Amino acid sequence: MRDEQAMTEERVERILAEVHDAFGMIRVLEVDDYRFLEFGDAIEQSCTFTADPSWLEYDYTRAMLIGALCHELPDSALFLGLGAGTLTQACLKFLPLEDVEAIELRPDVPRLAIEYMGLDDDPRLYIRIGDALELLPTAESADLIFVDLYTDVGPGVGHLAWNFLEGCQKRLNPGGWLVINQWAADDGKPLGAALLRGLYHRHYWELPVKEGNVILIVPADLEQDLDFAALTERAETLAPCLGYSLLPLIKQIRPAT
């Protein structure tokens, strides 16, 4: 019989780093084989499996990778919001990317991601510090653009800013895809659904995930459709490398609501 104390023992949580900047607190925690990047009062932003920093623990990051797989052969990517860099790390490892740019608001975030969260100092990756809304016009166009601008109180203003979201789509190369980690409203629709429908002419797809987010998959133009057969084939080919299947999530993709 197992020791009762061992069965009820709580996991040990270690604080590896804690910094304060103009936006509040950033903390790195370690629990067993995982490390967590937190903003503010225990608001978990990112999770890294220390044995494999490219492992995507959360469904929302796996769903964003599905958005990336909508592109047949992406060469360039732009990440607006870096966090711990797990999605960036996965894309660099599993996609044929040669040119990757990330824009991160808080200077300590990339430093902590490299020092504690396993983000590689990859020569293909260029990180700029600043406000994504201000720096977007100076970013290179890309095959893939990811928007994940969260603070300790929720999504940043860019997630509901018409001009910014329009600018993201316009910076896509022909055939490119915009992938947005949008908060879900109480009705299950993405935050700002009416704005999004008008901005993107209802021509995008949604992927709801269990963390309470809806991932938006937006094509570069109205002539571009999502090829589910090709997406499924790419996901199945990649599954042995990932260590998990993306097919259950792909089945949840729906047209814009």
Between these two residues, 180 and 150, which has the higher pLDDT value?
180
**Does some domain include residue 106?**
yes
- Position 10 scores a pLDDT of 60
* Average pLDDT rounded to a whole number, residues 146-151: 94
Residues 144, 125 within the same domain: yes
Residues 197 and 225 in one domain: yes
Residue 174 located in a structural domain: yes
Model confidence at 235: pLDDT above 90? yes
**Count of Cβ atoms closer than 10 Å to residue 200 Cβ:** 18
Q: Which of 51-55, 83-87, 234-238 has the highest mean pLDDT?
A: 234-238
User: Is it the case that residue 257 has pLDDT exceeding 90?
Assistant: no
Q: Average pLDDT of 239-257?
A: 97
Quick one: 31 and 67 in the same domain?
no
Domain assignment of residue 54, yes or no: no
Query: Does residue 29 contact residue 16 with C-beta atoms inside 8 Å?
Result: yes
155 and 134 within one domain: yes
- pLDDT band at 11, cuts 50/70/90? low
Mean pLDDT rounded to a whole number for the chain:
93
pLDDT above 90 (res 8) = no
Is the domain of 215 the same as that of 242? yes
Same domain? For 11 and 88 the reply is no
Share of the chain above pLDDT 70, in %: 95
Specify if 249 maps to a domain.
yes
pLDDT of residue 40: 81
Average pLDDT, integer, range 201-225: 97
Looking up tokens 């964003």 gives: 64
Whether 118 and 13 map to the same domain: the answer is no
Is 239 found in the same domain as 137?
A: yes
Q: How confident is the model at residue 177 (pLDDT cuts 50, 70, 90)?
A: very high
Instruction: Examine the domain organization and report whether 39 and 100 are in the same domain.
Output: no
Our count of domains for the chain comes to 2
Q: What pLDDT does residue 45 have?
A: 75
Looking at residues 122-130, what average pLDDT do you find?
Answer: 97
Residue 196 main-chain phi, psi, to 5 deg: -65, -40
The answer as to whether 87 is a domain residue is yes
What type of residue is 151? T
Cα–Cα distance measured from residue 143 to residue 233, given in angstroms and rounded to the nearest whole number: 20
Radius of gyration in angstroms for the set of CA atoms belonging to the chain, rounded to a whole number: 18
Q: Can you give the three-state secondary structure of the chain, one letter per residue?
A: CCCHHHHHCCCCEEEEEEEEECCEEEEEEEECCEEEEEECCCEEEEEEECCCCCCCCCHHHHHHHHHHHCCCCCCEEEEECCCCCHHHHHHHHHCCCCEEEEEECCCHHHHHHHHHCCCCCCCCEEEEECCHHHHHHHCCCEEEEEECCEECCEECHHHHCHHHHHHHHHCEEEEEEEEEEEEECCCCCECCHHHHHHHCCCCCEEEECCCCEEEEEEECCCCCCCCHHHHHHHHHHHHHHHCCCCHHHHCCCEECC
Say yes or no: 92 and 41 in one domain.
Answer: no
Same domain? 98 vs 30: no
Alpha carbon distance 105, 125 (integer Å):
16
Pairwise CA distance, residues 172 & 150, whole Å: 22
Using the predicted structure, report yes or no on whether residue 153 has a pLDDT greater than 90: no
132, 21: one domain: no
Q: What is the pLDDT of residue 154?
A: 82
CATH number of residue 127's parent domain: 3.40.50.150
> What is the residue range of 33's domain?
4-49
